[in-house]
Every structure is written in structure tokens, then in C-alpha cells.
Structure 1
Amino acid sequence: MYGRPALPPDFVSLPYSNPDAPKGGRIVFGEPGGFDSLNPYILKGTAPWGLGLHTVESLMGRSIDEPFTLYGLLAESVETDEARTWVEFTLRPEARFSDGSPVTIDDVMWSYETLGTKGHPRYQTAWAKVAKMEQTGDRTIRFTFNTEDRELALLMGMRPILKKAQWEGKTFEDAALDVPTGTGPYVVAGFEPGRYITFKRNPDYWGKDLAFNRGQHNFDEIRYDYFGDGDVVFQAFTGGETSSHRETNSAKWASHYDFASIQSGEVVKSEIENQRPSGITGFVMNTREPVFADWRVREAMLLAFNFEFINQTLNGGTEPRITSYFSNSVLAMGTGPATGKVAELLAPFAADLPPGTIEGYALPDGNAERAVDRGNLRKATKLLEEAGWTVQNGTLANAEGTPFTFELLLASGATETQSIADIYVEALKNLGIFPTVTTVDSAQYKERTNNYEFGMAWYTRALSLSPGNEQFLYWGAKGVTEPGSRNWMGMNSPAAEAMIKSMVESRSQEDFIAATQALDRVLTAGRYVIPVWFSRVSRIAHSSHLHYPDRIPLYGDWPGFQPETWWYEE
């Protein structure tokens, strides 16, 4: 995106891969929930996590050691003009689908148009900025853009390439259980919806000798087993049914990992550091619901959430709080008033921004010693009164006597989330608020959140060091009404969209950072999410036969690390 890639044209392997890693063995993961589709590229249905990851490729591949850098995968070369008004890719002549058929420009064009018009909404924003797609040679394809957006040249290299012939006579939008034909290192070897899916390494994989792939895709078999909830996933791991398990709770990591296979050395504990943004995790408030439309109400909800007590109760107080969407990175908003380029970007929107956006905003401090922070509740009560809500006969209500209530939607099996919700709901009672807590299975949770049918819900958005066009899907105004966006809060902020536009049009890293810091202010001061904690390390317990390279990438444990760079060795 800026400057030059870190690796030279003749690089041997990605710096965080072990080019001498042995091939063989298997890795087994446990997942909560289930799946009912093998098409991860549409809005309908729930597909298994690893399907697109292991079986399908794109023209370019991402290095998780470099933000905003791509290397050739299906494409052997890429060309663009200085203004990036177009981009042209040349396919590798050796590129093949898993059935042995060659990847053609026709497959690429069909994939881009189908995903852009019939696929998940995440593909539609970039496709709408393509003025023309044309074949310019036997193995070359060019995209010409209708919008100034310097990220588009990269985005056009990151779409999954599917086999056109497989879909003839079929409806792409259906959540079918047909196994997609891809070009990736693995093929689906077997599955049972909601129970398991197994991937076998393809010995004839066309790209196994590429430098980009060297030291990756080492397991002969990758299997995902599905269980009812997170507790059962952990029990399956301790019982030896799975071979790797990520632990998100630091207190549990310290106290529950003393079972027999740990003591014998058959299972080891690894902590993988990272340098990525915290992202946002917590309870999102749906501003489409009238009760959450006022920022004062949302601030009151934040004041009622005693983070310090919840963190102490569930984590022993060890985890740092998420203080903004891009915290833990250079992209995070600064403390105090906005200055310099950030202030300049926000100034045109000053009259419509919530208090604190430009002046400076920080989350409320709580009290680790007691469940309820009385001082914060008094502040919350005052804000609610200003917004027209008062306690009447023990219940918060408006002037018409309508109670303040909402539905808090949770996914079944998320035991830690349920524990957080239980403490929070008890605290809200002190304000006269009595929400309805509804727990649904993973399929219903996806359906309801896709259609924004909730008042508050558990929300997680991982954010990278290279944010760009996907931020429109996360926070853009189209998501207020269009289903399937990641704008669960229903925010409609011209300032946010302007900051994203500045991000993708930036010609220098300094301007890009300023625009992202400004966006971070708009999001955080918007008070849409009640954030919890993040971890600066990933905690992975795994079989002692599973190994990973000594060199940890910038992003740490991130898609592209496990299982891609891991291997099996006795």
C-alpha cells in the first residue's frame, strides 16, 4: 500500500514459516456450535470456519508479518498505474483446481462478478467501485475503477477464485452442501453437518513449491469437530479428542490446566505474542431501537458496566481493557483533545459529533472491590433523566410510563459471555432496568444478528493494522437497513464514512494513520459498544507433537498462523 514489500523478489519463504518443516500428521480442533452450509461466500447459512481457509485461494496472498502487503499466489504478476486507477493481474500458467483443471480468466471473471452481485455483502462495496473488468490476454485480467481508492488495487487480488463450471445450473445464493472445487492445498475428505469436517492435504497441489507456500500446509489432515458449547470443547480437549485448544480466559489458563496430559508432558502450553490492534469485543447497543438512539443513554449503559469488578471476578484482574477500537496499536486515538491532522479531519463534523470526540473521551472507571459502583450509577441516573427516563414504581420509564427495556441476545454455549451478562444484568436492576436475556443456537444467532433483531448483543470485531474498504461494511450507513453488514449498532455517521474515505485515498502512511485515529475517535465516543478486555498473547494448549516456528509474525496467532505454519513431529 505504501513503499515497497519487505521481501525481495527471490525470497525463499515467508519469514515466519519454517521451510524445512516436515510434512505429515494431523491436527484436530474443537469448535462450539455447528454448520449447515458449505458455501461460506453468501449471507444464507453457516459454513465451517476452515472451508475457505484451506480449499480456496485468491490471486494474491497476505503476509501476516506486514500490514498492507500482498504477494503473488494464483497471479504471477501484478501491474497498476501510479494513481491506481486500474490493476492488471497475470495468472500463473501452472495454477490448477483440485480436480486438475486449469484456472482460467473465465473462472476469475465469473468469481468476481458472482461474488460482487450475489455473494455476501462484504464483497459488494469494492465491486461497486469497478467500472470495467476485461480480459486483456490469454492469462491477464484488468479491473478499471470508477472511484479514487488506492486500496482497490490490493482488494482486487484478495477475492476467492471458484470454478465456474461447478456452479452451472445451480443457484449460487443457496446454502447448499455441495463441496466447492478450489485451488487450495486441501480438499474436503468428509463431513457431517453440525458434527465434523475433515480436510486432506492434496498431494497434487499445484502451488506446493511456491516460495510463498514453502513451510506451510504441513499436516496431512486437518479436522474440526463440533460440540454443544465451549465447556464441552474444553472437556473434549482434556479427554484427548482434540489436539489444540485456544483459551481466552486468563484465570482458567492459570488454574484449570493441570490435568493428566499436561502433567505427563503430552500436552504443552504456549503463549503467542502479537502486535495487532485490540479490536472491539463487548455488548453492542442497537441504535435502531429507540431506547439506544440517545448517546446519553448509551453512556449510562457504559457507566452501569463495572468493568474492573467483572475483570477481577472472571480474570483475576489480569487482562487489560479495550479502550478504543484500535487500541494497542499506532492507529489508536490519542488521549485528550484531537490535534494536528486528526483535528483537521474532524473539524467539518464538529457540530454533529457526540461530546468527547474532539475534546477527548475515556471509558468510565469502575471499582474492583464491589459489584456496583455507586458513583457511576448516580452519573448514569442523571444522564437517563436528561434523556427523559425516570424511575417510576421501581422501574425506569419515560414520561408516557413506557418501561425502559430491551432484549439482550446471546449465543448458546458461550459460558464466559453468559457470566458477564449475569453480573451486568444484576447491576442494571439498580437503575430500574430489567432486560430480557435470550439465548439462541448459533444458526438463530446469525440469522437474528444479520437482520439486527436484538436490542443488545455480544459483539466481536477483529481489526487489523491495514484497515480499509471493509470499514464501510463495519460502520457504513448502508448497514443501517441492508441486512448482513457488520454495522450491528446501526450507526449512521457521515464523519465515520469521511474518515474511511480519507483512509483509502491516503498517499502516505502518516495521512493514513491520522485518518484511522480520527475514525477511532468517532467510533469510541459514539458509545456504541460496552467493551471488555483483550489479550496481548494468545494462549494455546496443544499436543507436544505439534510445533510452530520460532519466528512469530507481527500479527501473532492470526488466520495464516495455525494451522498453516505448524507441523507434526514425534
Structure 2
Amino acid sequence: MDRVLVQLIAATSFLALSLLPAESEPKHGIAMQGEPALPPDYKHFDYVNPDAPKGGSVTYCVVGSFDNLNPFILKSLRTTARGMIDTVYGNLVFEPLMQRNYNEPFSLYGLLAESADMDQERKSIEFHLNPNAKWSDGQPVTPEDVLFTYEVFKDKGRPPYSDRMSMIAKLEKTGEHSVKFTFNDKANREFPLIVALTPIVPKHAFDKETFDKTTLKPLIGSGPYTVDKVLPGQRIVFKRNPDYWGKDVPSKRGFDNFDQVTIEYFLNANAKTEAFKKGICALDDETDPVKRERDIDFPAFRKGDVKEEYFNTGIPPVVTGFLFNTRLAKFADPVVRRALGMLYDFEWANKNLFGGKFNRTMSYWQNSELSALGHPADDREKALLAPYPGRVPADVMDGTWRPPVTDGSGQDRKVLKAAFELLKSAGFRVQDGRMLDPQGNPFGFEILTSSQDEERLAAIYQRTLEKIGIDVGIRSLDGDQIQSRKQRYDFEVLIGTSGFNNSLSPGSEQLGRWGSVAAKTEGSFNLAGVADPAVDAAIDAMLNARTEEDYVAAVRVLDRLLISGNYIVPMQYNTQQWLAYWSYLEHPQKTPIFGYQLPTWWRKPN
């Protein structure tokens, strides 16, 4: 063959090969931004005690009830037993493919899957299952279990699990211990991590036809505990699986140190506090500083048998406040919501109820670079908001917005007048001492509460609102009743939150909290009913950001839109986590950025 022709063929072949997508290598961990912080040979997370003694028991206490053990179905969503999968007490029964490191913004490490192979464009991810992974009945965890999980979640699961197959173009077994997900155009760059965090269920232990039925029968999982005893609505007891397959996996070393974990249920917070004082509950996480100072002064604390401790965190505080159901016509106008938002007298509440120990919540990512506060909108943000002119007021755009500061008297005339003028601009008027809406109907609403503490906060708000003629009722419900109301969106106003926890890496959970689809989905966490194309676009931009700068810009836009939408009247927060606990408990020296992690605690040996 002609020498020149040979060289040409060789060069052409090299060029063709160089244009093929680069083969990615299986990795021990994956991260939303950049690379995981821990090396492949890491031994354990840095906020655990890998030599923590095993043994003993612990009892956690919660307010509410339960009538179901399956956490993946819509029915009884808000009355499912804690602990099956749990962000506070740990995933005791069911586990995901990969485990989150709570000392990084969003990084995952091997668990059921010992490694993952994700392409650069994040259009696919292949998980390589740990060949040692087993269910609690001794059966191996297989690719068929992963396939079954997604199939049954799609047909019988609750949101967000039921929605995930809509973003998957192909799900296939690729080997004896491997399974590959290929995504369609609906998937965002975070979705591979969401897949990795989805709990897996055993195919052989579930009937697809009855999967969506509530059950109190102990379920088989791969986690470190099994369900031992169930007293419906009152108590669930988990016992350690002595044959737990994952005890030596690096991402699980130092976790799951109790032989028995019990979760007790109480009708209200006061009953739970009294149970803690009696030694029934191992700890108390009261958030009201005045109440905890009062309640902590009991004999066991004075003797040193109970400790109190403050834990620093590196994440934004959860937003708690009066949440409007904007599905209702009376709360549809953001101007009305803004006026109502001005009338929570934080200064009076902080001085008279909280001893001045709280800070005012103003942003959904307060005290972080993701917050709009103090950060004028840059060109990236302005471009994202360009299709939605006028949606964000000027003071929110330039980062100078702050809620009104009252004189702390409970009747600051300046603030009352400003709120009234806003309502007036929306067509409201006062007649015979009553606020009338634009149609001439008396304007008022009902606030649902579930504890005496919530009633006190609602009464503060009620008193101020009534000063401008707004009639406010307060209805106290027990935990079951209020959860049922939430699931059906059957309320006007309640004291709610922006989520169970907050993060320096907000992601797909924001769709469930603020997305238009979630607003129409029964049982979602979008309690406020936010259905705004601008919010949807901001979340989409956040989930598809390829650079840190684009990501921060998108989250700040979302923050500006949520602040401007006035969906929640934010109340207050504490800069630290407080916990009181009986002195038989011990915890690791280091606290991760997400705060204390109860699954890493242990009981002192006798």
C-alpha cells in the first residue's frame, strides 16, 4: 500500500477516535459541583467516631401519630412511621445507592453501589452494586431490585418518587452487579445524584399490585435495623440487624451505634417535653429559647444527669412563618400578601416571648452567598428575570430590602399605616371598623395551629391584624388532623416551613416546595400553592447550571422571587442548634456543616 495512503488512514483513524466521547471511569463518589472532597481510599467521614462503642438503646420522641410503615406511597404520607427513611434519625430500614456526606454541600459516596460511572454531560450514570449488599432476609441486592424499584415507584409511588421515571429514557441491567440509567431531555444536571439518593426496595418482598396500600407489617430493607415491634400510633421499635452487610463500608463506619432504636409518639409538644423530663425520651430539641430555659430547670438537669449543648452549623436556617394558601382567591394578590407580611411584630415577639435571643428571618438562604440580601442582582440574574418584568421590586433587586422594623410596642402606627395603604391600593377599605375586600366582603382568615407555642405566635399576629379591621380566627388541631389538612391543602393560613432542612446546595427538592406541578399535586410540600413561571424558570436554571457563578445567580433569583411573592410571613431563627439530652448519650467531637447527626451518636458503656 502507498506509504502516504497508510499515513493518511492512520491519521484519519486517530482523529475519529479522538472525537469519540471520553470513557469515564467508575468513581467512589460524585458531587454536584466539582469533585468529592474525600479520596478513593478514605476510611470514614470526618464527623464520626469510627471506634464508637456499639450497644444499648435510645428512645426518640415526636409529636403526631402513624398508621403506615411504607414511606413511598401517597396514602398516609404524613402519618407514616418515622425511621424507615429519615433525615433526622437515619435511614434505619431502607437505603439509597449512595450515601450523603453531611460535611460537604452535596457529595455522595458508595453504599449499595460501591461506585458510579457518570458521563461528563450527565446524560447517563451506571452504578456498580456492592456484591456484599444484602437485604435483611439474607437475599442479595441485585440490579433487578433497582429496576423493580423504579417500576413500582412510577406506577404506585408518591411524588417525588413517582415522577422520576419520566426523566429516564432507558433503565437497563448491564452486568451481574451493575445497572445503567440513561436520561432524557427532561432530566437536569442534578438528577444523577437524585437517582443515587433514591432508596431501593426488594423485588422479592413486595407485591406490585398492593404496593400502594398502607401496611403495619414489618418491611424488609437493606438498612442496619429491622422493625421489631409496632404499636400503631404510639410506638415503633427497631432492632439492629446483627448481620447488617454494610457495617464496614466507609460511608457507614461510626454510624448506627445503638442495638435498639425506639420512636415514641405524643399528641402535643408539652406531653413530649414532660416525657423527656421523666427520662422516657433521650433528648429534647425545643426551638423556643424561653420555653427551653423554663423547662430545662428540673432536678435531673441540676444534678448533671441531663446536658444542654449548642451546635454550630454552616447552612442557612429553615424559614418558618405564617404560610398563605395562595390557591384561595383571598390570597391570590401578592400586594395583599405583602401587606399582611408587614404585620407580624417580630420586635415585640422577640422581646416579650424570646428574651431577645432570636434573629429575624428575611431570606430563604440567609447568611450564605446564595442569599439575595446584600447582593445586588448581577447581569446573569437580570437576564434570567428579563422575561418577567416587574416581578421583583427594586429594593429586592438591589439587595437592600428588609422587613419593617417596629418600635416593639405591638402597635407601631407607622407600620400599621404602611400596611393599610398597601391594602388600600389593592382595593380594600375599612367600614365600621372592618376591613372589606374589593368586592365589599369582610376580609379575614383562620390560622391553624398544632401546639400552645404556635397558638402564642398566632395570637401575636392576630392582635396586630385586628388593629386594622382584619378578623382572624385561631383553630388548634392535633398532629394527625393538621397533617391531613396539609395533605389536602385544606387550610387558609398555618405555621409552616420552607422544608425539613436547608442546604448550601439547593436542588430538585425546590420543585416540590415551589414548583407549579407540585402546587397541583396532592400531598406535595408546596403548601403555599406557588405556581409562577418565573419561579419554575429559576429552579430550572439552578438545576442546569454548569458553573458555580451561574448556579449562585439562579438561586439568588429564586430567593428574590420568593421574597417578592410573600408566600410566607417569615418569623425568626436561632443561629445555633440547641439540644438537651440525657448524659448517657455521647457524640463525636466534630459537628458537620449540616449540624449534629443523631445516627453517629452512641450510648456510654456501663
Tell me the TM-score normalized by structure 2.
Answer: 0.90
Q: Give 1:41's aligned residue.
A: 72
Paired with 1:511 and 1:371, the residues of 2 have a C-alpha distance of 42
Whether the 8 Å CA contact 2:68–2:216 is kept in 1: the answer is: yes
Shift of 1:479: 2.4
**Residue in structure 1 matching 2:266, options 218, 227, 233:** 227
Q: Can you list the C-alpha shifts for 1:102-156, whole angstroms capped at 9, x where unaligned?
A: 1111111111222233222122443321111111111111111112511111111
Aligned 1:414-425 pairs, distance under 5 A: 414-425=451-462
For 2:383, what is the secondary structure of its paired residue? helix
Q: Give 1:478's aligned residue.
A: 517
**Residue in structure 1 matching 2:487, options 443, 450, 455:** 450
Give aligned pairs, total: 565
Q: Give 1:345's aligned residue.
A: 384
Aligned 1:350-389 pairs, distance under 5 A: 350-353=389-392, 356-360=395-399, 362-367=401-406, 369-389=408-428
Would you say 1:174 and 2:207 are equivalent positions?
Answer: no
Q: Give 1:117's aligned residue.
A: 155
**Residue in structure 1 matching 2:477, options 423, 440, 448:** 440
Would you say 1:51 and 2:84 are equivalent positions?
Answer: yes
For 1:539, what is the secondary structure of its paired residue? strand
Paired with 1:91 and 1:240, the residues of 2 have a C-alpha distance of 42
Shift of 1:169: 6.3
Would you say 1:13 and 2:44 are equivalent positions?
Answer: yes
Would you say 1:196 and 2:235 are equivalent positions?
Answer: yes
Paired with 2:117 and 2:307, the residues of 1 have a C-alpha distance of 46
Q: Give 1:568's aligned residue.
A: 604
Whichever residue aligns with residue 49 of structure 1, its letter is: R
Q: Can you list the C-alpha shifts for 1:222-265, whole angstroms capped at 9, x where unaligned?
A: 11111121111111111111221112112233343121111111
Q: Give 1:105's aligned residue.
A: 143
Whether the 8 Å CA contact 1:355–1:525 is kept in 2: the answer is: no
Would you say 1:3 and 2:34 are equivalent positions?
Answer: yes
Q: Give 2:351's aligned residue.
A: 312
Paired with 1:433 and 1:289, the residues of 2 have a C-alpha distance of 17
Whether the 8 Å CA contact 1:546–1:569 is kept in 2: the answer is: no
For 1:523, what is the secondary structure of its paired residue? helix
Shift of 1:62: 0.4
Paired with 1:466 and 1:187, the residues of 2 have a C-alpha distance of 32
Whether the 8 Å CA contact 2:58–2:262 is kept in 1: the answer is: yes
Paired with 2:380 and 2:437, the residues of 1 have a C-alpha distance of 42
For 1:247, what is the secondary structure of its paired residue? coil
Paired with 2:161 and 2:492, the residues of 1 have a C-alpha distance of 27
Whether the 8 Å CA contact 1:279–1:327 is kept in 2: the answer is: no
Aligned 1:520-535 pairs, distance under 5 A: 520-535=559-574
Shift of 1:336: 6.2
Shift of 1:547: 0.5
For 2:563, what is the secondary structure of its paired residue? helix
For 1:126, what is the secondary structure of its paired residue? helix
Q: Give 1:145's aligned residue.
A: 183
Whether the 8 Å CA contact 1:162–1:182 is kept in 2: the answer is: yes
Q: Can you list the C-alpha shifts for 1:292-346, whole angstroms capped at 9, x where unaligned?
A: 1111111111111111111222211111111111112221113364223223322
Greater Cα shift, 147-156 or 382-391: 147-156
Greater Cα shift, 81-90 or 459-468: 459-468
301 and 449 in structure 1: CA distance in 2 versus 1, 3 angstrom threshold: same
Q: Can you list the C-alpha shifts for 1:177-232, whole angstroms capped at 9, x where unaligned?
A: 12221100011111211111111111110001111111111111111111121111
Whichever residue aligns with residue 56 of structure 2, its letter is: G
Q: Can you list the C-alpha shifts for 1:458-477, whole angstroms capped at 9, x where unaligned?
A: 11122211211121111111
Whichever residue aligns with residue 57 of structure 1, its letter is: E
334 and 354 in structure 1: CA distance in 2 versus 1, 3 angstrom threshold: closer
Q: Give 1:330's aligned residue.
A: 369
174 and 355 in structure 1: CA distance in 2 versus 1, 3 angstrom threshold: farther
Whichever residue aligns with residue 298 of structure 1, its letter is: R
Q: Give 2:11's aligned residue.
A: none
Paired with 1:463 and 1:68, the residues of 2 have a C-alpha distance of 12
Would you say 1:127 and 2:160 are equivalent positions?
Answer: no
Whether the 8 Å CA contact 1:21–1:215 is kept in 2: the answer is: yes
Which consecutive unaligned segments of at least 5 residues does structure 2 have?
Answer: 1-31, 86-90
Aligned CA-pair RMSD:
1.7
Would you say 1:61 and 2:99 are equivalent positions?
Answer: yes
Would you say 1:215 and 2:223 are equivalent positions?
Answer: no
Whichever residue aligns with residue 284 of structure 2, its letter is: H
Tell me the TM-score normalized by structure 1.
Answer: 0.96
Q: Give 1:280's aligned residue.
A: 319
Whichever residue aligns with residue 604 of structure 2, its letter is: Y
Whether the 8 Å CA contact 2:223–2:244 is kept in 1: the answer is: yes
155 and 399 in structure 1: CA distance in 2 versus 1, 3 angstrom threshold: closer
Q: Give 1:95's aligned residue.
A: 133
Paired with 2:548 and 2:58, the residues of 1 have a C-alpha distance of 39
Q: Give 1:487's aligned residue.
A: 526
Whether the 8 Å CA contact 2:362–2:403 is kept in 1: the answer is: no
70 and 401 in structure 1: CA distance in 2 versus 1, 3 angstrom threshold: same
Whichever residue aligns with residue 552 of structure 2, its letter is: I
Paired with 2:272 and 2:521, the residues of 1 have a C-alpha distance of 34
Identity %: 39
For 2:84, what is the secondary structure of its paired residue? helix
Whether the 8 Å CA contact 1:201–1:220 is kept in 2: the answer is: yes
499 and 369 in structure 1: CA distance in 2 versus 1, 3 angstrom threshold: closer
Whether the 8 Å CA contact 2:374–2:398 is kept in 1: the answer is: no
Shift of 1:563: 3.1
Paired with 1:204 and 1:468, the residues of 2 have a C-alpha distance of 35
Shift of 1:410: 2.1
Shift of 1:352: 4.1
Greater Cα shift, 115-124 or 256-265: 115-124
Paired with 1:539 and 1:352, the residues of 2 have a C-alpha distance of 38
Paired with 1:498 and 1:373, the residues of 2 have a C-alpha distance of 38
Q: Which has the higher contact order (CA 8 A, sep 6+)?
A: 1
Whichever residue aligns with residue 83 of structure 2, its letter is: G
Whichever residue aligns with residue 471 of structure 1, its letter is: Q
Aligned 1:385-404 pairs, distance under 5 A: 385-404=424-443
Bigger radius of gyration among the two: 2
**Residue in structure 2 matching 1:30, options 36, 61, 65:** 61
74 and 198 in structure 1: CA distance in 2 versus 1, 3 angstrom threshold: same
Greater Cα shift, 30-39 or 161-170: 161-170
For 2:484, what is the secondary structure of its paired residue? helix
Whichever residue aligns with residue 25 of structure 1, its letter is: G
